[in-house]
Structures are given as C-alpha cells and as structure tokens.
Amino acid sequence: MSKPFASLSVAIVGAGPAGFYTAQALADLAPDARIDIIDRLPTPFGLIRYGVAPDHQETKKIQELFESIALLPQIDFVGNIEIGKDITLAELRECYDAVVLAYGVPHDAELGIPGEALPGVYGAARFVGWYNGHPDQADLRPRLGKPGAIVIGNGNVAIDIARLLSKSQAELEHSDIAPYALEQIGRAAPGDVHIVGRRGPAQAKFTTDELTELGRLEQAVAVVDAEDIPARLDDGLSMKDKRIKTRNLECFRAYAQSDPAGRSRRIHFRFYLRPHAILGNDCVEGVRFERVAVSDGGSAGTGEMLDIPCSTVISAIGYRACALNGVELSTAGNCLRNDEGRIDSGLYVVGWLRRGPSGKIGTNRADGESVAQRIQQEVEPGRLAGRAGLERLVRARSLSPVDFPGWKRIETFERANAPTAAVRRKVTRISEMLDVSRALPT
Ligand code: NAP
C-alpha cells in the first residue's frame, strides 16, 4: 500500500514540458501535495515557447495542457526567480521535501575546430532562441545574407533552422516568430542554405515529417546529389528505424529530382562532410570540410578537403548541460549524473537534463511519472516549510516573482498586439514582461 502523501512539498526547477509533466504526475499521485514550478523567466513553458519552431503552431498547442496543469489548485508557477543566482539549490532543498531539476540543457555543444569564435558562427540554442524571441538572445542580430548559410548537423533542429531561413514572409505570417527576426530574415534571406552531415542520408536523425515538409515550401526547393543516396540501409536496424529511414531515403530520392532553376531559395543537403575549420579573418567566410567514407554507420576521414562559402554558420550538433552547485554533470556533459532520475536524497532530475537532449515533447511524460513515483516511495512528506520557506527568502531578498495570473497578463498583451494573422507578438525584454505582468486591468 502506498504511503499517505498529505503535505508533501515539491519545488520543480524549470517550467518546460518535463517540469509540467512531473507536476501533473505528482498531482495525480498526491492530490494534497503542494507543488511550485519555479522558472528564471517570467514566462512558463520553456522549449514550447522558445525551442519549438515558431511556424509549428500545432506542436505549441500542448501549451494548453500545461496551462490546465498550472491551474490545478495544488500547483503554482513562480516565474522570474533564478535558482543558482537569486536562491541557491541548497537553500531550496532546505525549504522543500523534494526538489526536481527540470531546467533543460541550455548550452550549445562546441564543434571544437579553428575559427569557431568568428562573428557569424552561432550555436543552435542561441540562434533558435533568437528567432523565438528568447530574452537572452534578443540582441543577437546574426549576420545573414549571401552567399548563404551553413547549418552543421543532421537532426531536426538543423531542419527547423534551414526551413525558417528559407521561408517567405508570407509563409511566416501565421507564426509567432520574433518581429525583429521576421524583418531580418525577410531583408537578408541567405538564398542558399546548406544542411551538412558528417555521415550519410541513411544515418541522418531527421524524422520523415520534418524532412518532407521541406518539399512543400513556397519559394525554396530542397536539393540533394543522387550519388549521395545509398541503395540500401545498414544491417541491424530496428523495425522502427528501418521504416523511418526507408521513408527518408524515398524523400531524398525525390529531392534528387528537384529542379532549382528559377527558385530564389535552395536548401542543399550535403553529406559525408566533417567540419575541419571555419574560414575567415574578421568574420566567417566559409567552412572547410573533410570528406569522410562511411561504412556500416561508422566513418573515417579521407584527407580530401572541400570549402563551402557562406556568411553564416549555425552548428546544430546537440547541447551541453550546466550544473548547479552540488550536482555533477554526466561524463558526456549533456545531462546530470543521476540514478534513474535520483541525484541525492530528496533531489531528482527529469527531461533532457536527466537523459540528454533527445526525444519528443511527450517523451518527458514517462520521465515525470517515474520520478513522481520515486518521490512518493522515497520522500517523507511534511518535513519542511515548502512555499512558506520560499516566500521568506523572496521577501528577504526583495525578489519579484511572477505568478500565473501575471504570466496570463503577458500573454493577453502579446495576443492583443499580434499582427493580423499571427497568434501573438512576443515580448522579448524581461523589463517589459515584468511591467506587463504587474499592470492592473483597465
Ligand atoms: P540530434 O537529433 O541528436 O542531431 C544532432 C546531429 O549533430 C547529428 O546528425 C550528429 O551526427 C551531428 N553532430 C554531432 N556532433 C557533431 C560534430 N562534431 N560535427 C558534425 N556533426 C555533429 O539533435 P538535435 O537536432 O539537436 O535534436 C535534439 C532532439 O530534439 C532530437 O530528439 C530531435 O528529434 C528533437 N527535435 C524534434 C523536433 C520535431 O519533432 N519537429 C524539432 C527539433 C528537435 P552523428 O549522428 O554523426 O553523431
């Protein structure tokens, strides 16, 4: 029989999908628990707001579920409080029976090649944050324009970026892309966008829906060299991978027939190219790649080099985690060291921070459920002050948390200011978010 769960207090650090799914699972298991979802931004929903592509509004509809979770009586959103800066993790653990870390993996993995620091080179987290209106990236002003952009990496993030850079203004008008990004992409569209993989089409991590979407763009055409497409798949694939990759290869075969003549924008898939150096003196002028030979999924350099000119490089090769004081990174550096979601007594981790940056939004649901069950089994409820303890720290430090009604005022403002076809016009400055969140209804 499970333990009674009354008066359990839980703080979840990070208001993205993993945090919300965990809150929902805890609320289901323990209707009397008090759960605070704390985020450093005044806005909830994490990667739904700042990671999912702004032209994928269907995917963003999951926000409605998270909103219903936030409105449960035992759950509160506490925005604009940064754990690790405003309040330490140790202090938070002294307030709550359990703390769940769900703040994602925010940093870009590095290519580790010469020239990476040149102006015009961006990691995907920064670039995606820029066009999604993340306040940390609102001033990025990336270099765009001719002779084009190179996106390094063969995952869905690379596809998102290439698509956004290749869409017309009309195609983006229903999105919630940041207004400055819409203007800049419209004014300085790269024209040619190269998606470059260090292995082949059969090893690429694209999902088929994302890949085929590039065949339906108004002005841009996707192209690939037919010689790069293998006749058969590697042995030993699971049935699921075989199905996905077979469909992907069919899609690539169709792109190999594309006629780019007369099209103002082209998305080039380039394969078997390993980044060797970013070229340029004062800013990026191109990327030097080494050709690789791939067999059975493994790859080896051939020594043959190829330079592709560009004005922008975006590396979409994965992310690195950051550790708060008192927790450790995994050996790979892309998540926290943990034992099936447990870090220490009363301290847990979920989402990308638990398992590394992979999977769909819904993958986080199972994570949240398993950690909620562990908390139920392992944590003694009612030991600590919970929300009252947090409020004491907030008062003592004169912090300015934003609650869920405060966020709703921001959202109402964004919707009221949306251009005709768009769902919202995002506020991209923290100071403006705070002003709007405090505004009295008129
Ligand atoms: P990903 O799927 O893991 O792809 C990373 C890519 O970077 C791989 O092609 C990898 O190549 C390549 N790479 C890694 N290190 C490299 C290096 N040093 N040089 C060159 N290439 C390198 O990661 P992601 O695209 O960031 O996506 C993260 C997760 O979010 C994925 O699960 C993805 O499906 C998901 N996501 C989904 C959507 C969607 O459903 N619409 C949109 C965005 C993201 P190797 O394979 O050779 O290692």
DSSP per-residue codes, 279-325: E-SSS--EEEEEEEEEETTEEEEEEEEEEEE-SEEEE-S-EE--PPT
Q: How far, in Å, from the CA of 322 to the mean position of ligand 1? A: 19
Structure tokens at 275: 């980044």
Digitized pLDDT (tens) for each residue of the chain, 442 residues in all: 444 444 899 999 999 999 999 999 999 999 999 999 999 999 999 999 999 999 999 999 999 999 999 999 999 999 999 999 999 999 999 999 999 999 999 999 999 999 999 999 999 999 999 999 999 999 999 999 999 999 999 999 999 999 999 999 999 999 999 999 999 999 988 899 999 999 999 999 999 999 999 999 999 999 999 999 999 888 888 999 999 999 999 999 999 999 998 899 999 999 999 999 999 999 999 999 999 998 876 789 999 999 999 999 999 999 999 999 989 999 999 999 999 999 999 999 999 999 999 989 999 999 999 999 999 999 999 999 999 999 999 999 999 999 999 999 999 999 999 988 899 999 999 999 999 999 876 5
Sequence-separated (6 or more) residues with CB below 8 Å from residue 93: 99, 346, 347
State the distance from the centre of ligand 1 to the C-alpha of 265, rounded, in angstroms. 23
What's residue 1's pLDDT? 43
DSSP-derived secondary structure letter, 227: G
Tell how far the Cα of 316 is from the centroid of ligand 1, in angstroms.
6
- Ligand 1 nearest-atom number relative to CA 359: 32
Question: Is 212 touching ligand 1 by the criterion CB < 6 Å?
Answer: no
For the packed helices 404-416 and 430-438, what is the interaxial angle rounded to 10 degrees? 110
Give me Rg for the CA atoms of the chain.
23
362 touches ligand 1 (CB under 6 Å): no
Indicate which residue's Cα is closest to atom 15 of ligand 1: 317
Ligand 1 contact, 160 CB (< 6 A)? yes
> Does the C-beta of 154 come closer than 6 Å to ligand 1?
yes
- Distance from the CA of 205 to the center of ligand 1, in angstroms? 6
**Distance from residue 357's CA to the centre of ligand 1 (Å):** 9
Q: Does the beta carbon of 363 sit less than 6 angstroms from any atom of ligand 1?
A: no
Coil, helix or strand at residue 201: coil
Strands 312-315 and 149-152: parallel
Q: How far apart are CA 18 and CA 104, in angstroms?
A: 8
Ligand 1: centre distance to CA 84 (Å)? 28
Ligand 1 midpoint to CA 108 (Å): 12
Ligand 1, residue 319: give the atom nearest the CA. Answer: 26
Residue 2 pLDDT: 47
Indicate whether residue 76 lines ligand 1 (CB < 6 A): no
- Rounded to the nearest angstrom, the gap between the alpha carbon of residue 195 and the centroid of all alpha carbons in its chain is 18
What's the CA gap between 278 and 116, in Å, rounded? Answer: 6
Q: Is 64 exposed, middle or buried (0-12, 13-18, 19+ CB in 10 A)?
A: exposed
DSSP class of residue 79 equals B
271 CA → ligand 1 middle, Å: 14
Ligand 1 in reach of 317 Cβ (< 6 A) = yes
Residue whose CA lies nearest to ligand 1 atom number 1: 155
176 CA to centre of ligand 1 in angstroms: 24
Binding site membership of 207 for ligand 1 (Cβ less than 6 Å): yes
Exposed/middle/buried for residue 426 (C-beta within 10 Å: 0-12, 13-18, 19+): buried
Tokens of residue 218, six digits: 């108004």
Q: Is 186 left (phi over 0), alpha (psi -120 to 50) or beta?
A: alpha
According to DSSP H, which parts of 4-56 are helical?
A: 17-29, 46-50
Q: What is the pLDDT of residue 297?
A: 66
Q: Cα separation of 317 and 110, whole Å?
A: 8
Is residue 152 within 6 Å of ligand 1 at its C-beta?
yes
CB 106 within 8 A of CB 263: no
Confidence at residue 439, expressed as pLDDT on a 0 to 100 scale: 84
- What is the residue type of 360? K
pLDDT on residue 289: 98
